[in-house]
Amino acid sequence: MRESLAAPTPTERFTSIVGDHLAPALEPYGFVRRRAVLEHDPGDLRWLIEVELAPWTTPERIAFTLSWGVAVRGLHEVLDDPMGPPQRVAACPVKGRLRAGASDVEAHWFELGPARGPAALRRIADARTAAAVVAAATGTILPTLQHFDTVPVVQAHLVDGLVRGRGAPAAGELARIRWIAGLSILLGERANASRWLDYLEARSSATIAPDVVAERLADLRERCAS
């Protein structure tokens, strides 16, 4: 009787992989699901694993990957971020995606297309996809997140990845410097924070009028001095 039922849609199969497989697999590690994001809050940090849909996803063919992010509790308050604490991976100061093999650039995408063939074979294929997603989350992404176990580790990662250039700042450079300065304030490293704010002001002034930059950084400098 079951074999005669309509085959589940890609959306239904995708929902099952996330809700029936991925979320339960991460629950023992302290992750709580909030829609497409699974979050673990170990204290000073928040670890996020997000099920990220590809831009080319359609109702007939769903492509998705897993992205991860590390947020620092209180950083948004130090930086007076009107958006509040990060709710998605894209807003985290440290983030990444599941990579394809040894690639440092290409993301690994899982795909769910139209259901074809006997129902038993379709179920086997979906079970294999679900197992691969769970393995990627627990075997690759979780160990990556576990590396970021303290605020200083997050700060050191941001500093190590900073490309110091001349001329116009590269994409994301100013945000990275701002995060580093904010973390220094959060850690009580006032002198270090002041040096990073000086650097942020110098790099920002490469493309923005110096008086505008100084005005924008005034509140942050005041927090640094207090």
pLDDT tens-digit series, residues 127-140: 999 999 999 999 99
At residue 69's C-alpha, the angle toward residues 149 and 32, to 5°, is 85
pLDDT surpassing 90 at residue 22: yes
pLDDT at 75: 94
> Across all residues in the chain, what is the average pLDDT?
90
Give residue 192's pLDDT: 93
For residue 43, pLDDT over 60 is answered with yes
**Mean pLDDT on 150-175:** 89
The 8 Å CB, 24+ separation contacts for 218-223 are 219/80, 220/79, 220/80, 220/178, 220/181, 220/182, 220/185, 221/194, 221/197, 223/78, 223/185
**Structure-model confidence comparison of residues 174 and 104, the more confident one:** 174
